[in-house]
Structure 1
Protein backbone atom coordinates (compact mmCIF):
# COMPACT_ATOMS: atom_id res chain seq x y z
CA UNK A 1 0.00 0.00 0.00
CA UNK A 2 3.06 2.28 -0.29
CA UNK A 3 2.22 5.74 -1.60
CA UNK A 4 -1.32 5.74 -0.19
CA UNK A 5 -0.92 9.42 0.82
CA UNK A 6 1.48 10.46 -1.93
CA UNK A 7 1.14 14.15 -2.77
CA UNK A 8 -0.75 15.01 0.42
CA UNK A 9 0.41 17.39 3.14
CA UNK A 10 -0.76 16.29 6.57
CA UNK A 11 -0.66 18.41 9.72
CA UNK A 12 -0.10 16.39 12.90
CA UNK A 13 -1.09 18.19 16.10
CA UNK A 14 -0.31 16.59 19.44
CA UNK A 15 2.82 14.45 19.14
CA UNK A 16 4.27 14.33 22.63
CA UNK A 17 6.67 11.39 22.47
CA UNK A 18 7.40 8.23 20.51
CA UNK A 19 4.77 6.26 22.46
CA UNK A 20 1.86 8.52 21.51
CA UNK A 21 -0.87 7.58 19.05
CA UNK A 22 -0.12 10.75 17.08
CA UNK A 23 3.45 9.59 16.53
CA UNK A 24 2.27 6.20 15.24
CA UNK A 25 -0.02 8.01 12.79
CA UNK A 26 2.86 10.26 11.71
CA UNK A 27 5.14 7.28 11.10
CA UNK A 28 2.53 5.49 9.01
CA UNK A 29 1.66 8.64 7.04
CA UNK A 30 5.33 9.24 6.25
CA UNK A 31 5.71 5.65 5.06
CA UNK A 32 2.77 6.21 2.73
CA UNK A 33 4.37 9.23 1.10
CA UNK A 34 2.74 12.14 2.95
CA UNK A 35 4.57 15.42 3.50
CA UNK A 36 4.20 16.16 7.21
CA UNK A 37 4.02 19.28 9.35
CA UNK A 38 3.93 19.10 13.15
CA UNK A 39 2.77 21.48 15.86
CA UNK A 40 3.55 21.49 19.57
CA UNK A 41 1.80 23.33 22.38
CA UNK A 42 4.73 25.45 23.53
CA UNK A 43 8.30 26.39 22.79
CA UNK A 44 9.37 24.18 25.69
CA UNK A 45 8.43 21.11 23.63
CA UNK A 46 9.81 22.39 20.33
CA UNK A 47 13.34 21.00 20.39
CA UNK A 48 12.33 17.65 21.90
CA UNK A 49 9.71 17.10 19.20
CA UNK A 50 12.00 18.37 16.45
CA UNK A 51 14.61 15.81 17.51
CA UNK A 52 12.00 13.06 17.40
CA UNK A 53 10.72 14.19 14.00
CA UNK A 54 14.24 14.04 12.54
CA UNK A 55 13.95 10.25 12.76
CA UNK A 56 11.29 10.50 10.03
CA UNK A 57 12.73 13.23 7.85
CA UNK A 58 13.16 16.96 7.41
CA UNK A 59 9.70 18.08 8.49
CA UNK A 60 8.84 21.46 10.05
CA UNK A 61 7.71 21.72 13.67
CA UNK A 62 5.70 24.82 14.58
CA UNK A 63 4.51 26.16 17.90
CA UNK A 64 0.71 26.32 18.27
CA UNK A 65 -0.96 26.93 21.62
CA UNK A 66 -4.54 25.80 20.98
CA UNK A 67 -5.68 27.81 23.98
CA UNK A 68 -4.81 31.02 22.16
CA UNK A 69 -6.58 32.22 19.02
CA UNK A 70 -3.62 34.47 18.25
CA UNK A 71 -1.22 31.53 18.41
CA UNK A 72 -3.45 29.43 16.16
CA UNK A 73 -3.70 32.24 13.62
CA UNK A 74 0.06 32.81 13.67
CA UNK A 75 0.93 29.13 13.26
CA UNK A 76 -1.50 28.62 10.39
CA UNK A 77 -0.20 31.73 8.66
CA UNK A 78 3.29 30.21 8.91
CA UNK A 79 1.89 26.94 7.60
CA UNK A 80 0.38 28.79 4.64
CA UNK A 81 3.76 30.36 3.87
CA UNK A 82 5.50 27.00 4.05
CA UNK A 83 3.01 24.68 2.38
CA UNK A 84 0.29 26.80 0.81
CA UNK A 85 -2.23 24.00 1.18
CA UNK A 86 -2.91 21.06 3.47
CA UNK A 87 -4.94 17.95 2.74
CA UNK A 88 -5.31 16.47 6.19
CA UNK A 89 -5.20 17.37 9.87
CA UNK A 90 -4.76 15.01 12.82
CA UNK A 91 -6.04 16.50 16.08
CA UNK A 92 -4.55 14.48 18.94
CA UNK A 93 -4.96 17.04 21.68
CA UNK A 94 -6.65 16.53 25.06
CA UNK A 95 -5.95 17.46 28.65
CA UNK A 96 -7.59 17.53 32.06
CA UNK A 97 -6.12 18.68 35.33
CA UNK A 98 -4.86 15.80 37.47
CA UNK A 99 -6.87 16.92 40.50
CA UNK A 100 -10.06 16.59 38.45
CA UNK A 101 -9.22 12.95 37.68
CA UNK A 102 -8.29 11.97 41.22
CA UNK A 103 -11.39 12.84 43.23
CA UNK A 104 -15.08 12.18 42.67
CA UNK A 105 -16.55 13.49 39.43
CA UNK A 106 -19.01 15.63 41.37
CA UNK A 107 -16.04 17.49 42.83
CA UNK A 108 -14.88 18.68 39.40
CA UNK A 109 -14.08 22.36 39.65
CA UNK A 110 -15.60 24.95 37.35
CA UNK A 111 -12.10 25.89 36.22
CA UNK A 112 -11.12 22.27 35.64
CA UNK A 113 -14.26 21.59 33.63
CA UNK A 114 -13.68 24.66 31.46
CA UNK A 115 -10.04 23.68 30.94
CA UNK A 116 -10.85 20.11 29.86
CA UNK A 117 -13.57 21.22 27.44
CA UNK A 118 -11.48 24.06 26.02
CA UNK A 119 -8.35 22.02 25.34
CA UNK A 120 -9.99 18.72 24.40
CA UNK A 121 -13.07 19.82 22.42
CA UNK A 122 -13.14 23.53 21.58
CA UNK A 123 -9.62 23.27 20.17
CA UNK A 124 -10.99 21.12 17.34
CA UNK A 125 -13.36 23.92 16.35
CA UNK A 126 -10.60 26.52 16.50
CA UNK A 127 -8.05 24.60 14.43
CA UNK A 128 -10.67 23.42 11.92
CA UNK A 129 -11.66 27.04 11.34
CA UNK A 130 -8.02 27.90 10.67
CA UNK A 131 -7.42 24.82 8.52
CA UNK A 132 -10.45 25.33 6.29
CA UNK A 133 -8.74 28.15 4.42
CA UNK A 134 -5.77 25.90 3.64
CA UNK A 135 -7.94 23.01 2.41
CA UNK A 136 -8.85 24.71 -0.85
CA UNK A 137 -9.23 21.39 -2.61
CA UNK A 138 -11.02 19.66 0.24
CA UNK A 139 -9.46 17.60 2.96
CA UNK A 140 -9.84 15.36 5.98
CA UNK A 141 -9.77 16.15 9.69
CA UNK A 142 -9.32 13.28 12.15
CA UNK A 143 -9.50 13.46 15.94
CA UNK A 144 -9.17 10.90 18.73
CA UNK A 145 -11.87 9.87 21.18
CA UNK A 146 -12.52 7.06 23.69
CA UNK A 147 -15.47 4.98 24.87
CA UNK A 148 -15.56 7.10 28.02
CA UNK A 149 -17.56 9.53 25.88
CA UNK A 150 -20.39 6.99 25.74
CA UNK A 151 -20.14 5.07 29.00
CA UNK A 152 -18.97 5.66 32.53
CA UNK A 153 -15.34 4.53 32.68
CA UNK A 154 -13.87 4.50 36.20
CA UNK A 155 -11.22 7.16 36.52
CA UNK A 156 -12.02 8.95 33.26
CA UNK A 157 -14.43 11.46 34.79
CA UNK A 158 -14.31 14.96 33.26
CA UNK A 159 -12.39 13.64 30.25
CA UNK A 160 -15.44 11.51 29.43
CA UNK A 161 -17.56 14.65 29.27
CA UNK A 162 -14.91 16.38 27.17
CA UNK A 163 -14.75 13.48 24.72
CA UNK A 164 -18.56 13.43 24.46
CA UNK A 165 -18.40 17.12 23.53
CA UNK A 166 -15.63 16.30 21.04
CA UNK A 167 -17.75 13.67 19.31
CA UNK A 168 -20.70 16.06 19.03
CA UNK A 169 -18.30 18.67 17.67
CA UNK A 170 -17.22 16.21 14.96
CA UNK A 171 -20.82 15.89 13.77
CA UNK A 172 -21.51 19.63 13.67
CA UNK A 173 -18.24 20.39 11.92
CA UNK A 174 -18.86 17.62 9.41
CA UNK A 175 -22.25 19.14 8.62
CA UNK A 176 -20.86 22.63 8.05
CA UNK A 177 -17.60 21.78 6.30
CA UNK A 178 -19.02 19.19 3.94
CA UNK A 179 -19.92 21.82 1.34
CA UNK A 180 -16.19 22.64 1.19
CA UNK A 181 -15.38 18.94 0.66
CA UNK A 182 -13.77 18.79 4.08
CA UNK A 183 -14.54 15.60 5.99
CA UNK A 184 -14.42 15.36 9.79
CA UNK A 185 -14.25 12.04 11.64
CA UNK A 186 -13.15 10.64 14.99
CA UNK A 187 -11.48 7.40 16.00
CA UNK A 188 -12.64 5.96 19.30
CA UNK A 189 -9.53 4.04 20.27
CA UNK A 190 -9.38 1.16 22.70
CA UNK A 191 -7.15 1.63 25.77
CA UNK A 192 -3.47 1.86 24.81
CA UNK A 193 -0.40 2.26 26.96
CA UNK A 194 0.72 5.86 26.51
CA UNK A 195 2.23 8.33 28.93
CA UNK A 196 -1.05 10.26 28.94
CA UNK A 197 -2.97 7.11 29.90
CA UNK A 198 -0.89 6.82 33.07
CA UNK A 199 -2.84 9.79 34.41
CA UNK A 200 -6.03 7.70 34.48
CA UNK A 201 -6.44 5.88 37.82
CA UNK A 202 -6.46 2.06 37.52
CA UNK A 203 -5.62 2.23 33.82
CA UNK A 204 -3.99 -1.19 34.00
CA UNK A 205 -7.32 -2.72 35.02
CA UNK A 206 -9.09 -0.99 32.12
CA UNK A 207 -6.53 -2.40 29.70
CA UNK A 208 -6.83 -5.92 31.08
CA UNK A 209 -10.64 -5.85 31.13
CA UNK A 210 -10.92 -4.59 27.55
CA UNK A 211 -8.46 -7.20 26.25
CA UNK A 212 -10.24 -10.01 28.07
CA UNK A 213 -13.80 -9.10 27.06
CA UNK A 214 -13.58 -7.83 23.49
CA UNK A 215 -14.41 -10.19 20.59
CA UNK A 216 -10.81 -10.37 19.34
CA UNK A 217 -9.50 -11.15 22.85
CA UNK A 218 -6.53 -8.83 22.48
CA UNK A 219 -5.49 -5.31 23.24
CA UNK A 220 -5.37 -2.84 20.38
CA UNK A 221 -2.07 -1.15 19.64
CA UNK A 222 -0.96 2.07 18.02
CA UNK A 223 -0.65 0.47 14.58
CA UNK A 224 -4.37 -0.41 14.68
CA UNK A 225 -5.25 3.24 15.22
CA UNK A 226 -2.73 4.46 12.66
CA UNK A 227 -4.17 2.18 9.97
CA UNK A 228 -7.65 3.60 10.45
CA UNK A 229 -6.29 7.14 10.48
CA UNK A 230 -4.57 6.53 7.12
CA UNK A 231 -7.89 5.37 5.69
CA UNK A 232 -9.69 8.48 6.98
CA UNK A 233 -6.97 10.80 5.67
CA UNK A 234 -6.97 9.19 2.24
CA UNK A 235 -9.29 9.36 -0.74
CA UNK A 236 -10.43 5.82 0.08
CA UNK A 237 -12.80 7.37 2.66
CA UNK A 238 -14.08 10.10 0.35
CA UNK A 239 -17.69 9.30 1.27
CA UNK A 240 -17.18 9.10 5.04
CA UNK A 241 -17.78 12.06 7.35
CA UNK A 242 -19.28 12.76 10.76
CA UNK A 243 -18.41 9.27 11.99
CA UNK A 244 -16.94 7.97 15.23
CA UNK A 245 -15.16 4.78 14.21
CA UNK A 246 -14.39 2.39 17.06
CA UNK A 247 -10.99 0.76 16.86
CA UNK A 248 -11.17 -1.24 20.07
CA UNK A 249 -11.23 -4.88 18.92
CA UNK A 250 -15.03 -4.74 19.19
CA UNK A 251 -15.19 -3.96 22.91
CA UNK A 252 -17.90 -1.34 22.38
CA UNK A 253 -20.41 -3.93 21.09
CA UNK A 254 -20.27 -6.04 24.25
CA UNK A 255 -22.87 -5.82 26.99
CA UNK A 256 -20.38 -6.33 29.83
Structure 2
Protein backbone atom coordinates (compact mmCIF):
# COMPACT_ATOMS: atom_id res chain seq x y z
CA UNK A 1 0.00 0.00 0.00
CA UNK A 2 2.96 2.34 0.42
CA UNK A 3 6.62 2.65 -0.43
CA UNK A 4 9.58 4.58 0.95
CA UNK A 5 11.63 4.09 -2.21
CA UNK A 6 14.07 6.95 -2.63
CA UNK A 7 13.19 8.59 0.69
CA UNK A 8 16.11 9.91 2.70
CA UNK A 9 15.78 9.02 6.38
CA UNK A 10 17.91 9.91 9.41
CA UNK A 11 17.78 7.36 12.24
CA UNK A 12 19.01 8.53 15.65
CA UNK A 13 19.04 6.20 18.63
CA UNK A 14 20.35 2.77 17.65
CA UNK A 15 22.36 1.32 20.54
CA UNK A 16 22.21 -2.38 19.61
CA UNK A 17 20.02 -4.95 17.85
CA UNK A 18 17.35 -4.63 20.56
CA UNK A 19 16.83 -0.89 20.05
CA UNK A 20 13.50 0.51 18.93
CA UNK A 21 15.42 2.62 16.43
CA UNK A 22 16.89 -0.56 14.93
CA UNK A 23 13.41 -2.00 14.41
CA UNK A 24 12.47 1.22 12.63
CA UNK A 25 15.64 1.27 10.52
CA UNK A 26 14.95 -2.27 9.31
CA UNK A 27 11.39 -1.36 8.37
CA UNK A 28 12.48 1.80 6.54
CA UNK A 29 15.07 -0.16 4.57
CA UNK A 30 12.58 -2.92 3.74
CA UNK A 31 10.35 -0.30 2.13
CA UNK A 32 13.20 1.05 0.00
CA UNK A 33 14.49 4.05 1.96
CA UNK A 34 18.05 5.40 1.96
CA UNK A 35 19.38 5.74 5.50
CA UNK A 36 21.69 7.87 7.58
CA UNK A 37 22.49 6.35 10.99
CA UNK A 38 24.17 7.86 14.03
CA UNK A 39 25.88 6.28 17.02
CA UNK A 40 26.48 7.87 20.42
CA UNK A 41 30.27 7.66 20.72
CA UNK A 42 33.35 5.49 20.12
CA UNK A 43 32.18 3.03 22.77
CA UNK A 44 28.89 2.52 20.93
CA UNK A 45 30.38 2.38 17.44
CA UNK A 46 31.28 -1.37 17.44
CA UNK A 47 27.65 -2.21 18.26
CA UNK A 48 25.98 0.24 15.87
CA UNK A 49 28.23 0.44 12.83
CA UNK A 50 27.71 -3.21 11.76
CA UNK A 51 23.96 -2.72 11.99
CA UNK A 52 24.15 0.49 9.97
CA UNK A 53 26.21 -1.29 7.33
CA UNK A 54 23.72 -4.18 7.31
CA UNK A 55 20.95 -1.80 6.17
CA UNK A 56 23.29 -0.09 3.72
CA UNK A 57 23.38 3.27 5.50
CA UNK A 58 24.94 5.85 3.22
CA UNK A 59 25.90 8.12 6.13
CA UNK A 60 27.21 6.79 9.47
CA UNK A 61 28.27 9.42 12.01
CA UNK A 62 28.72 9.98 15.75
CA UNK A 63 26.08 12.04 17.52
CA UNK A 64 25.95 13.02 21.16
CA UNK A 65 23.33 15.77 21.31
CA UNK A 66 24.91 17.13 24.50
CA UNK A 67 28.16 17.92 22.64
CA UNK A 68 28.17 21.27 20.83
CA UNK A 69 28.46 20.99 17.07
CA UNK A 70 27.83 17.27 16.63
CA UNK A 71 24.16 17.65 15.69
CA UNK A 72 24.95 20.40 13.22
CA UNK A 73 27.71 18.27 11.69
CA UNK A 74 25.25 15.46 10.98
CA UNK A 75 22.83 17.78 9.22
CA UNK A 76 25.63 19.48 7.30
CA UNK A 77 26.68 16.07 5.98
CA UNK A 78 23.09 15.23 5.01
CA UNK A 79 22.77 18.56 3.19
CA UNK A 80 26.07 18.01 1.36
CA UNK A 81 25.42 14.36 0.48
CA UNK A 82 21.68 14.32 -0.17
CA UNK A 83 20.56 17.93 -0.39
CA UNK A 84 17.33 17.04 1.39
CA UNK A 85 15.82 14.97 4.19
CA UNK A 86 12.42 13.31 4.07
CA UNK A 87 12.15 11.63 7.48
CA UNK A 88 13.71 12.11 10.89
CA UNK A 89 13.52 9.48 13.64
CA UNK A 90 14.51 10.62 17.14
CA UNK A 91 14.68 7.68 19.55
CA UNK A 92 16.90 8.90 22.38
CA UNK A 93 16.28 9.68 26.04
CA UNK A 94 18.44 10.10 29.11
CA UNK A 95 18.27 10.94 32.80
CA UNK A 96 21.08 10.78 35.36
CA UNK A 97 20.83 7.61 37.45
CA UNK A 98 20.30 9.37 40.77
CA UNK A 99 17.44 11.42 39.33
CA UNK A 100 15.92 8.45 37.51
CA UNK A 101 15.90 6.26 40.60
CA UNK A 102 14.67 8.94 42.99
CA UNK A 103 11.35 10.64 43.54
CA UNK A 104 10.28 13.20 40.97
CA UNK A 105 10.04 15.88 43.64
CA UNK A 106 13.61 15.13 44.69
CA UNK A 107 15.07 15.50 41.19
CA UNK A 108 17.95 17.92 40.92
CA UNK A 109 17.69 21.04 38.75
CA UNK A 110 20.70 19.90 36.75
CA UNK A 111 19.40 16.35 36.33
CA UNK A 112 15.92 17.47 35.32
CA UNK A 113 17.38 19.99 32.87
CA UNK A 114 19.67 17.41 31.30
CA UNK A 115 16.83 14.89 30.94
CA UNK A 116 14.69 17.51 29.23
CA UNK A 117 17.50 18.65 26.95
CA UNK A 118 18.51 15.20 25.71
CA UNK A 119 15.04 13.66 25.62
CA UNK A 120 12.92 16.58 24.41
CA UNK A 121 14.74 19.70 23.30
CA UNK A 122 17.14 17.71 21.11
CA UNK A 123 14.10 16.63 19.07
CA UNK A 124 13.10 20.25 18.58
CA UNK A 125 16.66 21.13 17.58
CA UNK A 126 16.65 18.30 15.06
CA UNK A 127 13.34 19.43 13.61
CA UNK A 128 14.66 22.98 13.22
CA UNK A 129 17.72 21.72 11.34
CA UNK A 130 15.57 19.36 9.26
CA UNK A 131 13.03 22.04 8.29
CA UNK A 132 15.07 23.67 5.48
CA UNK A 133 15.89 20.21 4.11
CA UNK A 134 12.17 19.33 3.95
CA UNK A 135 11.19 21.90 1.32
CA UNK A 136 8.74 19.43 -0.22
CA UNK A 137 7.42 18.19 3.12
CA UNK A 138 8.59 15.50 5.48
CA UNK A 139 8.00 13.53 8.65
CA UNK A 140 9.52 13.88 12.12
CA UNK A 141 9.10 10.97 14.54
CA UNK A 142 9.98 10.52 18.19
CA UNK A 143 9.41 7.75 20.74
CA UNK A 144 7.37 8.17 23.92
CA UNK A 145 5.92 5.86 26.61
CA UNK A 146 2.55 5.66 28.38
CA UNK A 147 4.29 6.80 31.57
CA UNK A 148 3.73 10.27 30.13
CA UNK A 149 0.05 10.17 31.10
CA UNK A 150 -0.02 7.39 33.73
CA UNK A 151 2.06 6.99 36.85
CA UNK A 152 4.27 3.98 36.16
CA UNK A 153 6.17 2.58 39.11
CA UNK A 154 9.88 3.49 38.95
CA UNK A 155 9.52 5.48 35.72
CA UNK A 156 9.89 8.58 37.88
CA UNK A 157 11.42 11.66 36.24
CA UNK A 158 10.93 10.27 32.74
CA UNK A 159 7.14 10.58 33.14
CA UNK A 160 7.14 14.40 33.12
CA UNK A 161 9.88 14.37 30.48
CA UNK A 162 7.84 12.20 28.09
CA UNK A 163 4.76 14.34 28.78
CA UNK A 164 6.79 17.33 27.63
CA UNK A 165 7.91 15.43 24.53
CA UNK A 166 4.32 14.67 23.55
CA UNK A 167 3.34 18.32 24.04
CA UNK A 168 6.31 19.38 21.90
CA UNK A 169 5.08 17.02 19.17
CA UNK A 170 1.69 18.72 19.12
CA UNK A 171 3.10 22.23 18.99
CA UNK A 172 5.65 21.36 16.30
CA UNK A 173 2.93 19.67 14.25
CA UNK A 174 0.79 22.81 14.44
CA UNK A 175 3.67 25.07 13.47
CA UNK A 176 4.89 22.98 10.52
CA UNK A 177 1.65 21.65 9.08
CA UNK A 178 1.43 24.37 6.45
CA UNK A 179 4.80 23.20 5.13
CA UNK A 180 3.54 19.62 4.80
CA UNK A 181 5.87 18.51 7.59
CA UNK A 182 4.16 16.06 9.91
CA UNK A 183 5.24 15.31 13.47
CA UNK A 184 4.41 12.21 15.52
CA UNK A 185 5.20 10.34 18.71
CA UNK A 186 5.10 6.55 18.74
CA UNK A 187 4.36 5.10 22.17
CA UNK A 188 5.25 1.41 22.53
CA UNK A 189 4.34 -0.62 25.53
CA UNK A 190 7.15 -1.96 27.73
CA UNK A 191 9.98 -3.38 25.63
CA UNK A 192 13.25 -5.04 26.56
CA UNK A 193 15.70 -2.39 25.43
CA UNK A 194 18.99 -1.09 26.79
CA UNK A 195 17.27 2.10 27.94
CA UNK A 196 14.57 0.17 29.79
CA UNK A 197 17.17 -1.83 31.68
CA UNK A 198 17.85 1.25 33.78
CA UNK A 199 14.34 1.17 35.25
CA UNK A 200 14.03 -0.75 38.52
CA UNK A 201 11.83 -3.88 38.50
CA UNK A 202 11.29 -3.57 34.75
CA UNK A 203 10.86 -7.32 34.26
CA UNK A 204 7.85 -7.16 36.56
CA UNK A 205 6.37 -4.41 34.41
CA UNK A 206 6.92 -6.52 31.28
CA UNK A 207 5.05 -9.45 32.81
CA UNK A 208 2.19 -7.23 33.97
CA UNK A 209 1.88 -5.63 30.53
CA UNK A 210 1.68 -8.99 28.78
CA UNK A 211 -0.96 -10.16 31.23
CA UNK A 212 -3.13 -7.04 30.99
CA UNK A 213 -2.89 -6.31 27.27
CA UNK A 214 -5.93 -7.52 25.30
CA UNK A 215 -3.61 -9.33 22.89
CA UNK A 216 -1.57 -10.77 25.79
CA UNK A 217 1.53 -9.96 23.77
CA UNK A 218 4.26 -7.40 24.25
CA UNK A 219 5.04 -5.16 21.32
CA UNK A 220 8.26 -5.85 19.44
CA UNK A 221 10.68 -3.48 17.80
CA UNK A 222 9.36 -4.81 14.49
CA UNK A 223 5.83 -3.76 15.48
CA UNK A 224 7.09 -0.26 16.18
CA UNK A 225 9.04 -0.23 12.94
CA UNK A 226 5.96 -1.11 10.92
CA UNK A 227 4.05 1.84 12.37
CA UNK A 228 7.00 4.17 11.88
CA UNK A 229 7.33 3.12 8.24
CA UNK A 230 3.65 3.84 7.61
CA UNK A 231 3.83 7.25 9.28
CA UNK A 232 6.92 8.05 7.20
CA UNK A 233 5.10 7.22 3.97
CA UNK A 234 2.98 9.42 1.69
CA UNK A 235 -0.04 7.36 2.76
CA UNK A 236 0.09 9.11 6.16
CA UNK A 237 0.44 12.63 4.78
CA UNK A 238 -2.76 13.86 6.46
CA UNK A 239 -1.92 12.49 9.92
CA UNK A 240 0.02 14.70 12.30
CA UNK A 241 0.42 15.64 15.95
CA UNK A 242 -0.64 12.28 17.33
CA UNK A 243 0.70 9.86 19.91
CA UNK A 244 0.39 6.39 18.40
CA UNK A 245 0.17 3.52 20.87
CA UNK A 246 1.81 0.24 19.85
CA UNK A 247 1.17 -1.90 22.91
CA UNK A 248 -1.35 -4.65 22.23
CA UNK A 249 -4.03 -2.46 23.77
CA UNK A 250 -2.27 -2.27 27.17
CA UNK A 251 -2.86 1.48 27.40
CA UNK A 252 -6.67 1.09 27.21
CA UNK A 253 -6.87 -1.22 30.21
CA UNK A 254 -7.64 -0.07 33.73
TM-score normalized by the length of structure 2: 0.95
CA 1:102–1:235: 2 relative to 1, 3 Å: same
Q: How far apart, in 1, do the equivalents of 2:55 and 2:205 lie?
A: 32
Aligned to 1:210: 209
Instruction: Show structure 2 runs of 5+ residues with no match.
Output: none
* Structure 2 match to 1:33: 32
Post-superposition Cα deviations, 1:207-228, rounded to whole Å, max 9, x if no partner, equal: 1111111111111111111111
Is contact 1:145–1:166 with CA below 8 Å preserved after alignment?
Answer: yes
Deviation of 1:58 after TM superposition, in Å, equals: 4.8
| CA 1:44–1:218: 2 relative to 1, 3 Å | closer
User: More relative contact order in 1 or in 2 (CA 8 Å, sep 6+)?
Assistant: 2
CA distance in 2 between counterparts of 1:58 and 1:131 reads 18
C-alpha contact 1:138 1:181 (8 A) present in aligned 2: yes
Corresponding residue of 2:197: 198
8 Å CA contact retained: 2:103, 2:157: no
1:143 matched residue in structure 2: 142
Residue 20 (structure 2) aligns with: 21
Q: CA deviation at 1:105?
A: 2.5
CA RMSD of aligned residues (A): 1.4
Structure 1: 5+ residue stretches without partners? none
* Aligned counterparts of 1:58 and 1:41: Cα–Cα separation in 2: 16
**Partners of 1:67 and 1:180 in 2: how far apart?**
29
- Which residue number corresponds to residue 122 of structure 1? 121
CA contact (8 A) 1:9 1:35 kept: yes
Q: How much has 1:233 moved relative to structure 2?
A: 0.4
Q: State the distance in 1 between where 2:12 and 2:247 align.
A: 22
Equivalent residue runs for 1:147-162 within 5 Å: 147-162=146-161
| Separation in 2, partners of 1:148, 1:214 | 16
8 Å Cα contact 2:11-2:90 kept in structure 1: yes
Q: Match of 2:69, SS?
A: helix
- 2:12, 2:91 within 8 Å by CA — same for their partners in 1? yes
CA deviation map 1:7-66 (0-9, x unaligned): 101110111111101001101111111000012233443454222212222532122332
Tell whether the 8 Å contact from 1:149 to 1:163 is kept in structure 2 after alignment.
yes
Paired with 2:248 and 2:73, the residues of 1 have a C-alpha distance of 40
Per the alignment, residue 220 of structure 2 pairs with 221
Q: Report the equivalent of 2:174.
A: 175
Q: Normalised by the size of structure 1, how large is the TM-score?
A: 0.95
| Cα deviations by residue, 1:71-116 (Å, 9 ceiling, x for unpaired) | 2222211110011111101010101111112222222111110111
Q: Measure, in 2, the Cα distance between the counterparts of 1:91 and 1:195.
A: 16
Whole-angstrom distance in 1 between the partners of 2:65 and 2:236 = 27
> In the comparison of the two structures, how many residue pairs are matched?
254
Give 3-state SS (helix, strand or coil) of 1:168's partner. Answer: helix
Q: How does 1:95-134 map to 2 (within 5 A)?
A: 95-134=94-133
